Amino acid sequence: MLTALRIENFALIDYLELSLERGLTVLTGETGAGKSIILDALDAVLGGKVSQRLVRAGSSKAILEATFALSPELQTWLAAEHLPLATPALVCKREILIGKASVRSRSFLNGSPVTKAQLAALRQRLVEITAQGQTLQIGSADRQRDWLDGFGGATLLHQRHQVAQAYAAATAAKGRLEARRRAEQERRDRQDLLILHQQELTQAALDDPEEMERLSQEQQRLNHSVELQQSSYRVYQRLYESEAGEGACADLLGQAEAILVDMERYDPSLAPILALVSEALTQVEEAGRAINAYGASVEADPQRLEAVEERLRLLKGLCRKYSRTLPELLAYRDELNTTLAELSDQGQSLAALEADWQARQQELVTACATLTDLRQETAARLESRLIQELKPLAMDRVQFQVELRPVAPGPTGADAIQFWFSPNPGEPLQPLAETASGGEMSRFLLALKACFSEVDAVDTLVFDEIDVGVSGRVAQAIAEKLLQLGQRHQVLCVTHQPMVAALADVHWRVGKQVVNDLAVATPPPESAAAPAEAVRTVVRITPLSLEQRREELAQLAGGATHQEALSFAEALLSQAHSLRQQL
């Protein structure tokens, strides 16, 4: 319920603060007095469109603040949506600021910033505004579905809850199945990849972790075979047999050994030196024979060189591909067998998950079918009841139908719901939001609210001149329906009908006043002329006493004489008192 509304620098309102109560509150006043500005402010604070013209001339910022009482249902919803929560009230605030070339606004909920989407979702639970040419929410398919289900009562709402639970269970089962399918596909992809790795490494015949080093050495030897042969021959000549006429190392050592033998005959102490020279000679001769054999073994082998280089390219390519050294590749190849064995033995069966999802889906379909049957029964009752409610509102030949169109099962069932409407005899039914005029839509919603008054969760209903163009019996019927709604809801109504105003629990008069504008700028010091008196027009609201209500109702009713109008007003108030006692 809306408990307070504060408006500052909005349109023609400089400052206004209202306290509101339950029941039916009406606003009356002359055409153009500013009654709809109050409703525009309420619309704007809850996220409605704003423009620069809504900020009072001469001001750079308008401030709107609406305070609502918190119901347990609203507290639960706010908590579920993680929106700011404070008790005992909910304060919605909006600031509209004028820039150099644009207008911008900021919205707050209990002092914390709130997004436009969050505010729109909250608005649907707080206020419903019906105005000439503007009916909010009534054309929404979701809203129409909620109305139909609410009209169906506890049985239908319970079944809808069952559908929601079945949908959640089916969605969870499908999620498990899809997760398992993704895991299975990932397993297969990984298995296929590892099999390719295994085949490639097996085909490479890896068995020696030092193979690359050994092949590199062989490659060097084969690449330099001619140089190695030539160098071997030169070393042989130096060590053992020289062809250039120079003494080879073995010849020189042999000569030294012969001299030492002769010397040792005269001096036995030279024996150790002789032994060293003899050992050196033996080693040089051995080295000469070995280098000669090596030189003879070194041959150019282009085919072997090509094979070695091809093998090296293969091994280096594998190391780069797998980002591993050759010893690490050998270890990885051995691990593949174990990994592939594990991947081949996966647990939970896809068939079991598929069967579980199918079972959950069937439960959802069955629950949706039951819900559809209940909705069809409720739709027939709503069509009959709503037509009866519309008859006294000058719509006695109206056609109304609730269409249930099959759709894929969801959390709210398997039905797309749309209200079809034809206000004129002979005209085809069309979607409600496309065919009804502003006045027809307003009266339709009024009748709808009369049908749903016991189940509608929105507590504050706002009607802007829904009685335009009617009088007499129809005006009285509208007034009585508004009074009925006021028994269960907070109803705000802008009206020109004395019969509606007479039934109000609270009656406000809205009017314009001309006041001195204290914000006029002081003239420049050099100007000797006194400033002319500046005035501004502002909107004022006055709560009316019983006597003032008589006067206001008389003004609304008119009449041949003022006394006649007062008598009519007195009769309306007396009749209103009787109606309230009956309700």
The tens digit of pLDDT for each residue in 339-359 reads: 887 777 555 577 888 899 999
- Structural class in CATH, domain 2-131+460-542: alpha beta
Tokens 């506890």 -> residue: 154
Amino acid at 533: E
- The answer to whether the beta carbons of residues 552 and 33 sit under 8 Å apart is no
Tokens of 151: 């009209």
Q: How many CB atoms are located within 10 Å of the residue 78 CB?
A: 20
| Mean local confidence (pLDDT), 1-24 | 91
pLDDT number for residue 522: 42
- Residue 173 vs residues 162, 169, 354, 363, 482: alpha-carbon distances, Å: 16, 6, 8, 12, 49
Q: Is the pLDDT of residue 519 over 60?
A: no
- Residue 377 vs residues 247, 263, 402, 411: alpha-carbon distances, Å: 127, 138, 11, 20
Tokens of 218: 């062989």
The model's pTM: 0.61
Tokens of 334: 């051995």
| 455-458-464-466 Cα dihedral, nearest 10 degrees | -10
- Range of lowest pLDDT (111-115, 304-308, 469-473): 469-473
Outline which parts of the chain fall under CATH 3.40.50.300: 2-131+460-542
Confidence of residue 523 (pLDDT cuts 50, 70, 90): very low
Tokens of 325: 């050294």
DSSP 246: S
- Range of lowest pLDDT (181-195, 260-274, 455-469): 455-469
Contacts of residue 388, defined as CB under 8 A and 6 or more positions apart, other chains included, come to none
> CA-based angle 15:33:125, to the nearest 5?
65
Q: Angle at which helices 350-390 and 438-452 pack, to 10 degrees?
A: 110
What CA–CA distance (Å, rounded) separates 417 from 432?
12
Tokens of 229: 């042969």
What CA–CA distance (Å, rounded) separates 61 from 51?
12
- The answer to whether the beta carbons of residues 264 and 256 sit under 8 Å apart is no
